[in-house]
Structure 1
Amino acid sequence: MYVTDKAEIVIDASPEEIWDYVTDPVHWTASNPEEHYGLEYDTPDNRPREGATFQQREEVAGMYADLHGRFQYIDHPHVAVWTGTAYYPVLRGLVTVRIPEGGTIRLEETEDGTRMSHAVWMDFPNNRRGQLLKQLFTTVLDGKAKLYDHTNKELVFFKERIESTVHEPPIPTDEGP
């Protein structure tokens, strides 16, 4: 039983510039500091590539999660598809709820710049417990709206940061005697 959402934004930069910026785990974590607590890739350069795994600590709809994922497909610098399992400790860790999650990040050139989108999904188990969890997530926690807000906040951050650095002239250095 899926909960899905998608956020998108147009950024005045090339797909390559955006890719280089957003795949830096420091920038990804900074894109939502209230809900991102760290991201690590299992690659020597700490950057994503097809088949690479990652771990991200975050909050979604006010619930802490430890997400363990893998990049299933990457078409650099246009598409990255990831899947994983988020571990949500409930009742102070007495119970851990495991939810399969995933997403597709796309960078598509347009006349106005590059459209960056991130479509995400959560797959609640198709049983009574899953139905209850999905109901709690979508109603009590307002999870669908918060899922969009979480993803959109990342994209807005990337747009603001990338556009502010792309068009700023270099800062002169004072190299006096």
Structure 2
Amino acid sequence: MYVTDKAEIVIDASPEEIWEYVTDPVHWTASNPEEHHGLEYDTPDNRPREGATFHQAEEVAGMYADLHGRFQYIDHPHVAVWAGTAYYPLLRGLVTVRIPEGGTIRLEETEDGTRMSHAVWMDFPNNRRGRALKWVFTTALNGKAKLYDHTNKELVFFKERFESTAPESPKPTDESP
């Protein structure tokens, strides 16, 4: 039983520039510091590639998750498809709920820049426990809206990093008073 969402934004930069920036685990973690608590790729250069695994500590809808995933497909610098399992410790770790999760990140050139999107999914088990967990997530925790907010916040961060212009510091002058 899937819960899905997708966020997208247009960024004034090339797919290559965006890819280089967003695949740095430091920048990905910084894109949502209240909910991202670290990301590591299991590669020599700590960058994603097809078949590479990763670990991300994060929160979704206020629930801590230990996400272990793998990049199933990468078309550099346009598409990255990932899937994994998020481990949600409940009742102070007394019970751990495992939820399959995944997503597709796309960078598509347009006339206005690059459209970056991240479509994400969570697959709750189709049994009594899974239906109860999905109900709690979508209803009590407002998880679908928070899933969108979580993903959209990442994209807005990246857009702001590429499109913000830092004010220049005043230059010293040789004129004396």
- TM-score by structure 2 length? 0.93
For residues 87-114 of structure 1, give each alpha carbon's deviation from its aligned partner in whole angstroms, at most 9, with x where no partner exists. 0000000000000000000000000000
In 2, distance between residues paired with 1:154 and 1:32? 6
Which residue of 1 is the match for residue 132 of structure 2?
A: 132
Find out whether 1:72 has 2:72 as its counterpart: yes
- Structure 1: gaps spanning 5 or more residues: none
Q: Which has the larger radius of gyration?
A: 2
How far 1:162 moved relative to its partner? 1.7
Which residue of 1 is the match for residue 88 of structure 2?
A: 88
In 1, distance between residues paired with 2:11 and 2:50? 24
Alignment of 1:159-170 (within 5 A): 159-164=159-164
Which residue of 2 is the match for residue 119 of structure 1?
A: 119
Give me the CA root mean square deviation.
1.8
In 1, distance between residues paired with 2:168 and 2:144? 41
How far 1:170 moved relative to its partner? 9.6
How far 1:59 moved relative to its partner? 0.1
In 2, distance between residues paired with 1:153 and 1:24? 17
Change (3 A) 1:148 1:107: same
Find out whether 1:19 has 2:19 as its counterpart: yes
For residues 129-160 of structure 1, give each alpha carbon's deviation from its aligned partner in whole angstroms, at most 9, with x where no partner exists. 00000000000000000000000000000000
How far 1:52 moved relative to its partner? 0.2
In 1, distance between residues paired with 2:168 and 2:139? 49
Which residue of 1 is the match for residue 9 of structure 2?
A: 9
How far 1:27 moved relative to its partner? 0.2
Find out whether 1:141 has 2:141 as its counterpart: yes
Letter in 2 for 1:50: E
Which residue of 2 is the match for residue 54 of structure 1?
A: 54
Which residue of 1 is the match for residue 40 of structure 2?
A: 40
Which residue of 1 is the match for residue 175 of structure 2?
A: none
For residues 71-94 of structure 1, give each alpha carbon's deviation from its aligned partner in whole angstroms, at most 9, with x where no partner exists. 000000000000000000000000
How far 1:169 moved relative to its partner? 10
Q: Which ranges of 4 or more aligned residues in structure 1 deviate by more than 6 Å?
A: 167-171
Letter in 2 for 1:69: G
Secondary structure at 2:13's aligned position in 1? coil
Aligned length, in residue pairs: 172
Secondary structure at 1:9's aligned position in 2? strand
Secondary structure at 2:138's aligned position in 1? helix
How far 1:163 moved relative to its partner? 1.9
In 1, distance between residues paired with 2:116 and 2:155? 7
Percent of counterpart pairs with the same letter?
Answer: 89
Q: Is the 8 A contact 1:21 1:162 kept in 2?
A: no
- TM-score by structure 1 length? 0.93
Letter in 2 for 1:29: T
